[in-house]
Amino acid sequence: EAYACNFGSEGLFGDITAIETQDFPEHDILTAGFPCQPFTRRGSRMGFRDGRGGLFLEIPRVLRARRPAGFLLENVWNLQYLEGGHWDKDESKCVYGDVFKQVIECLGECGYEVRWRALNARGWVP
């Protein structure tokens, strides 16, 4: 409702889990995000055990169905370290957690070379 109020309802399809795979529209680039609450330091930190975290799996479903040339995903910084990882100022000492490894592996299994980078959105987000 909030999106439609701000941008109009043209092209909105509703709940992605209710959309049949063959009904995804063709596209060249997929931009997507998935709920951050299961992954953020201030949230539940339950990762994929939280039903909202499982919505990530809709992204590979779209990638496999439509095979766009590329994709850009966003989520929270802590996604990298959840479940067994930890951050260090010395980047070479950072250990990525099991959740992040699963995300990267799942995207790679869709047939893509996965490159990632953590960005500080402070310059773009008011």
Catalytic residues: 36
Q: Which two tokens stand for residue 58?
A: 């809709």
Structure tokens at 26: 């063709």
Give the chain's count of helices (H) and strands (E): 3, 2
Helix, coil or strand: residue 73? strand
CA separation for the pair 98, 54 (Å, rounded): 15
Tokens coding 107: 């995207």
Contacts of 10 (CB under 8 A, 6+ apart): none
